Amino acid sequence: MDLTPGQTIGQYRIVQKIGEGGMGAVYKADQPSIPRAVVIKVLGSAFAESPDARDRFRRELDMITRLEHPHILPVYDYGEVNDSPYIVMRFMTGGSLQDRLQGGAMTRSDGLRLLDQVALALDFAHDRGIVHRDLKPANILVDDADNAYLADFGLAKSISGTQDLTATGSTLGSPAYMSPEQARGEKLTRQSDIYAFSVLVYRMLSGRLPFEADTAWGFITAHLSEEPVPIRRYAPDLPPAVEAVLADGLAKDPLARPERATDLMASLRAGLTAGADVPASPSARAPTRATVTASTAGGRLISPVAASGARGSAVSRRAAPAWRLPALAAAGGALLLLVGGIAAVVLFVGGTSLLGDRPTSYPVGDEPRALLFDGSSLWVANFFDNSLTRLAVSDCGSTPDVCGQSLGTIEVDDLPVALAFDGDNLWVASSLEQTVSTVSPASGEVIDRYTLPHVPSAIAWDGESLWSANAIAGTVTKVASDGQILADIEVGKGPVAIAFDGTSLWVINQEGKSLVRIEPDGARVLETIALDSEPAAVALDGATLWIGLSDSGEVIQLDPADPTALRRIDLGSSPTALWFDGEQLWAAAPEAGEVYRIDPVSAEVVDTISIAGYPVSLLTASCGPNCRDLWTANQSGDSVSRLSIK
């Protein structure tokens, strides 16, 4: 719909239309009550036809407005006009980065300063679980003091699927800046934004794009199947090291890209300054098989030789390609539909399969991230719905008709990321507001809510207290049952998983590549074991530790009493969740869309289950007498899947 100058919506008076794009029309307006100039973006007509889409957009906007950062554009207000949502934002007099690039009046040093600011904004949002999805120069605005502000954060997700990808400037992402996984319609992560950011860096340094095409499909094909033009062809004054940095950022495999935008900028500045080859970005994860090496700072030795020692050798699964080009269908938009066409397949890999024929999927909330079984019900933390879904699972063996039915939904604090159970109540960790809440399974009500000192990434109950692993802060926090903060301990870089074995607490530091053992009562670090691959998950089998290595695509077994006794299982894809059910070890690799059943005695993969929807969490739950089911939370599928274990 079009608004006319002088028209009033809410407390705002339209001055003029200043733009229009895939997400809707943009107007300059006056706010007489302050007074000040503002920008009003009225979103597309697709919302007028879908109340559910408007509700989802409002929920996401509520979270985005709380992303308070010096380089993220503030959102002032929200409303609706003729059933079309609009958002009110700060009016930026300096235009957009797109305007600066087209005008050509910008020095390299000024461009790098703006890129540094954008990198800080991206890391801030990524650390809180929010992905931009449509990073491009037009979405970076500039103020009078030449400071950058990242706009339209996360809004593209709200209207994905309402427009055709073939339209330039589509809300599914702008083709010139689109990552390969976005072009394939796969799950987007922070590395997807890193790819788009790398395209932006390339253009800022050279004035050109790494891929040239005349159509949207031309760009998509190039992102999927072609190598970028070496930047020194356009800017021969740049050092060779800059090409290496951009090659990392533009890698087809998301896991080979830097994990943080600021890491990429640090490597870029080092390359520009040194004028010679520099190492890859600090958190870039090369897709090669890694070994485990010794700690040099007080940790114990894990010998690479032990990988082929008494406990068995590496079990090679497959050499999975880092990326693949799907067949392009003739019909427009079909590229997105080719992904996830198969719901699930169980592959037999020797021995006797213990699994049922096919998983069954059940809808839950928006982006389920965590699962918990309390002995009778399955609880699902829905990241973007700010809710918990309770599902009936305990009678699936005898009454399959009621299996997976929702028993209710509970609203919790924004962006719930982790769950724990203390025997009576659930604990819910929410990242945006840095809280943990207790929930009564009996009443379905939130009992208490406590503020944490840091953004939580994982939680565990040790029998008396709650522990929160805080990836951004590099600490673990001990929380009493009444919410009192008892300790906050530095453990290393990027603690992302935590587990309690009855005596010790084990913490996985992904960025720091280490395993830390903590004494819960004394709240002190007992030892640090250094790894040379990035751990992402940990499970306990009563005697040993199983650790999932995200960059090498392996699961390793570690004896805490003798860390040189080690076995490895090469999955060929990145395991980010592990679960031991008392008999079998289970591993989820969301990038591959697979779950593996591992025999802990032979250290072999005996079943592979292909599950659509990016399975990020898994557990087994009782479904009745002598009955067990495997459950997965499927982040991009907004669902959970159940597979019967015979």
Give me the CATH number covering residue 214: 1.10.510.10
| 443 and 526 inside one domain | yes
The CATH code of the domain that includes 320 is 2.130.10.10
| 383 and 489 inside one domain | yes
Under the banding of pLDDT at 50, 70 and 90, the label for residue 580 is very high
Range of the domain at 211: 105-286
Domain final position from 91, 114, 131: 91
| 83 and 142 inside one domain | no
Is residue 513 within 8 Å of residue 556, measured between CB atoms?
no
Q: What's the pLDDT at 427?
A: 98
When the pLDDT of each residue in the chain is averaged and rounded to a whole number, the result is: 81
Residue 228: other Cβ atoms inside 10 A: 18
The rounded distance, in Å, linking the Cα atoms of 167 and 178 is: 13
The model's pTM = 0.64
Q: What's the pLDDT at 528?
A: 93
Q: What's the pLDDT at 269?
A: 93
DSSP 273-325: HH-S--PPPTT---SS-------SSSPBP--GGGGGSTT---EE-----S---
293 inside domain: no
| 132 and 30 inside one domain | no
292 inside domain: no
- Tell whether the model's pLDDT for residue 282 goes beyond 90: no
pLDDT digits (tens, 9 = 90+) for 553-575: 999 999 887 766 578 999 999 99
Helices 261-274 and 240-249, axial angle in degrees (round to 10): 170
- Of 99, 123, 134, 395, the catalytic one is 134
The rounded distance, in Å, linking the Cα atoms of 597 and 499 is: 20
Under the banding of pLDDT at 50, 70 and 90, the label for residue 309 is very low
Edge-to-edge, what's the strand order for the sheet holding 585-589? 344-348, 604-611, 594-599, 585-589, 577-580
Task: Determine if the peptide bond prior to 35 is cis (ω within 30°).
Answer: yes
**Residue 167: closest CA among 209, 215, 135, 132:** 215
531 inside domain: yes
pLDDT digits (tens, 9 = 90+) for 399-438: 777 888 999 999 999 889 999 999 999 999 998 889 999 9
The domain total for the chain is: 3
pLDDT digits (tens, 9 = 90+) for 236-266: 999 999 999 999 999 999 999 999 999 999 9
20 inside domain: yes
| 80 and 128 inside one domain | no
| 492 and 565 inside one domain | yes
Q: Structure tokens of 367?
A: 């982006």
29 inside domain: yes
The CATH code of the domain that includes 35 is 3.30.200.20
Q: How large is the average pLDDT for residues 69-91?
A: 87
The rounded distance, in Å, linking the Cα atoms of 121 and 135 is: 12
Under the banding of pLDDT at 50, 70 and 90, the label for residue 275 is low
| 412 and 327 inside one domain | yes
Q: Structure tokens of 244?
A: 């290496």
Under the banding of pLDDT at 50, 70 and 90, the label for residue 23 is low
193 inside domain: yes
Q: Look-up: residue for tokens 């050798």?
A: 313
Higher model confidence: residue 498 or residue 218? 498
Is residue 61 within 8 Å of residue 102, measured between CB atoms?
no
| 584 and 624 inside one domain | yes
- Cα angle 348-351-352, degrees, rounded to a multiple of 5: 75
| 174 and 130 inside one domain | yes
Instruction: Kindly state the helix (H) or strand (E) to which residue 81 belongs, with its residue range.
Output: strand 75-81
The rounded distance, in Å, linking the Cα atoms of 81 and 60 is: 19
The rounded distance, in Å, linking the Cα atoms of 19 and 558 is: 58
| 259 and 118 inside one domain | yes
Beta bridge partners of 379: 372, 390
pLDDT digits (tens, 9 = 90+) for 49-64: 666 666 666 766 776 7
Is residue 575 within 8 Å of residue 588, measured between CB atoms?
yes
What b/e readout covers 49-71, taking b as 16+ CB neighbours within 10 angstroms?
eeeebbebbebbbebbbebebeb
296 inside domain: no
| 115 and 11 inside one domain | no
| Residue 134 known to be catalytic | yes
| 216 and 316 inside one domain | no
**Residue 539: closest CA among 557, 552, 554:** 557
96 inside domain: no
